[in-house]
Amino acid sequence: MILLYASVAAAYLAAAWIEWRRLSQPASPESTPVATISRWLPLLAIAGHAILVLQAIFTDQGLDLSLANALSAVAGLTALFAWLGRLSGTLPGVAAAALPVAAAGVLLPAAFPNPHRFSFTAEPWAALHIAVALSAYALLIVAALQALVLLGFEKRLHRGLPEPGGGALPPLLTLERFLFRLVGAGYLLLTLTLLSGVLFSEELFGKALTFTHKTVFSVLSWFVFGAVLYGRHRYGWRGRTALNGILAGSALLLLAYIGSKFVLEVILGR
């Protein structure tokens, strides 16, 4: 099993290196074997990552949703969405940032085992709620990475530098449109996550909703993403204003989930 963890991480890093080289040396044409490897190596890594995540989370004792397992699952989903965006040409450059993150994420369950289990047979809807939540986090993290990439592209344009990819990238306005579609999908999943958590907390987790900093940051993140989408629709927000809003919402979302899990599991040891 340790060999599979190491192999998946190595595959992620190799794919990230190829992607970085492709972006930084656009004038150098890729050979057919390299192009094939760069296209499909991430999928092999994602498949191996999925096997490891499923084995770590679905145990005989129930769902194990420790911080390490949750982060690993989000990292794998982030790599999947980034790879799909790379194939479609809608998220150029994101894979180069997402794949090293996934390489680190896949190793977390092996490096920091800290089981936190509950019975998924007694609470089957909780598993669905968590799956939607993790998908929302991954989509919005990919959106944040894409926002960073677009900010980098804008800086290059303002400095008069050639854009990565040798001019083969879609126009920035097109990339922004794809970005906001991604944010919209993530926002929909985040809304479903919050609604199910608020309305069905007792059925999902066996206790009424408690007012914690996780709830506060999650709701603040929802408001920020909602404001960005409304501003885009109503006032045509774009550029730095919109991109910084996406980054702010993503930061609040990370504080909501990862911050609370880190405090409980790592600092308090619960």
Please give the Cα distance from 71 to 254 (Å, whole number): 11
Give the other-Cβ count within 10 Å of 120's Cβ: 18
Over residues 128-137, the mean pLDDT reads 88
Q: Please answer whether residues 26 and 169 qualify as being in contact, where contact means their C-beta atoms are separated by less than 8 angstroms.
A: no
Question: Could you tell me which of 81, 79, 93 has the C-alpha nearest to residue 170?
Answer: 93
Percent of the chain scoring above 90 in pLDDT: 41
In this predicted structure, what is the pLDDT of residue 140?
94
- Band (pLDDT 50/70/90 cuts) for residue 268 is very low
**Phi and psi, residue 62, nearest 5°:** 130, -170
Q: Which backbone phi and psi does 118 adopt, to 5 degrees?
A: -145, 160
User: What are the pLDDT digits (tens) for 89-123?
Assistant: 888 789 999 999 999 999 998 888 766 665 554 55
Is the model more confident about 62 or about 133? 133
pLDDT score at 165: 55
Domain of 258? 2-267
Q: Which helix (DSSP H) or strand (DSSP E) does residue 227 occupy?
A: helix 213-235
Residue 30 has pLDDT above 60, yes or no: no
**pLDDT score at 64:** 78
- Sheet bearing 117-118, strands edge to edge: 58-59, 62-64, 117-118
Rounded Cα gap, residues 196 and 133, in angstroms = 10
Which pLDDT band, with edges at 50, 70 and 90, does 34 fall under?
confident
Distances (CA, A) of 109 to 27, 33, 54, 83: 40, 33, 11, 23
pTM above 0.95, yes or no: no
Say how many domains are in the chain: 1
Q: How far is CA 5 from CA 14, 64, 154, in A?
A: 14, 18, 37
Residue 32 to residue 34: CA distance in whole angstroms: 6
